Amino acid sequence: MKVAFFLELYRDKSNTNQFFTYSYWENEQALEKYRNSDLFKGVWENTKQYFNQKPEAWSVDKLVSLE
C-alpha cells in the first residue's frame, strides 16, 4: 500500500515562527498507518517540545482541483 502521495512543510511568510505541514494520503487507513508508525512517533517526540502553542490538525475532503 502506498502511504503518502506527498508530505510538505511550509512556513508562514509574515510569522516565520508558524509552520504547517500539508500531506495527501491514498486513504484514511494510510494516514492512520503513518500516525502509528515509528517514523511519526520519533519525529513527533522530537518536534513537539518546540511548540509554544497547542498544535492543530484537520482532515479535509478535496472538492475541486485546478490543474
What's 1-35 look like in SS3? CCCEEEEEEEECCCCCCCEEEEEEECCHHHHHHHH
Q: Does residue 54 sit within a domain?
A: no
- State pLDDT tens for residues 7-65: 899 999 999 989 999 998 988 899 899 899 998 999 889 888 888 889 899 998 889 98
Count: domains in the chain: 1
Q: Does residue 61 sit within a domain?
A: no
Using CA atoms, how far apart are residues 6 and 40, in angstroms rounded to an integer?
A: 15
Provide the CA 30 distance to its chain's centre, in angstroms: 13
Q: Does residue 33 sit within a domain?
A: yes
Q: Does residue 56 sit within a domain?
A: no
C-alpha cell at 56: 492543530
